[in-house]
Amino acid sequence: MEADLFISGIGGQGVQLVGKTLALAAINEGRHVMLTGEYGGHMRGGSTISTVVIGAEPIKSLPNLPSAGAAIALSHQFFENVATRLRPGSLVLAEETIAANLPQMADPRVTTVPAMAIATQAGNRMAAGMVMAGAYAALTGIVSPDSLVVAMKEQVPAYRRQHIETNERAIRAGAEAVPGLAFPVVLDMADGDRVEA
């Protein structure tokens, strides 16, 4: 089994960094990963989607994921690009202030997190994506918050190193803001062993 996830937002919200951080954390925990990015026509302010697929075995998904079982919504703008690709019963982790404006979906399991408020308390509202990454990790168990922190430190470019402490606080606060393992992910190995994610 593979766990697949869309991360959706507006260019400039750190969507691609969140996807890379989740992917690297999973790799560091010994899992296989596929990561792709989709971009709108604008560098900032346009649609941006990061797609992450995590498996216990080598990934069999297509490079362009036609559907997924989970999504993180940092903005309601452009979320229709993701909503139509979610399978029925998908987990949708949404920033609390935009959840009411999300388009209709087939039987979603919506969980909201006040990511912007938590990020502001952590030191920078731009760390809302890291809050959501921490919350997603805690809800699913797909990676540990500690692995996210290590991966984030590896991903943050040199000219943004001053944000590492804030990002770490945001990840840990996001993990604490949701009930742990409310939507656990279980990855099946080919030989019959199971990996509780």
Structural domain includes residue 38: yes
Domain total in the chain: 1
Domain that holds residue 62: 2-192
Structural domain includes residue 179: yes
Structural domain includes residue 197: no
Here the CATH number for the domain that contains residue 6 is: 3.40.920.10
Note the pLDDT tens digit of each residue in 141-180.
999 999 999 999 999 889 999 999 999 999 999 999 999 9
Structural domain includes residue 174: yes
Structural domain includes residue 109: yes
Note the pLDDT tens digit of each residue in 114-123.
999 999 999 9
Structural domain includes residue 71: yes
Structural domain includes residue 54: yes
Structural domain includes residue 9: yes
Note the pLDDT tens digit of each residue in 16-67.
999 999 999 999 999 999 999 988 766 678 899 999 999 999 998 677 889 9
Helices (H), the chain: 15-28, 80-83, 115-122, 128-140, 145-155, 164-176
CA atoms within 13 A on the CB side of 148: 29
pLDDT reported for residue 194:
41
The 3-state secondary structure of 63-98, one letter per residue: CCCCCEEEEEECCCCCCHHHHCCEEEEEEEEEECCC
For 137-163, b/e burial (b = at least 16 CB within 10 A) is bbbbbbbbbbbbbbbbeebbeeeeeeb
pLDDT reported for residue 52:
96
**Nearest C-alpha neighbor of 174 from the set 149, 150, 197:** 149
Going by pLDDT thresholds of 50, 70 and 90, the confidence category of residue 189 is: low
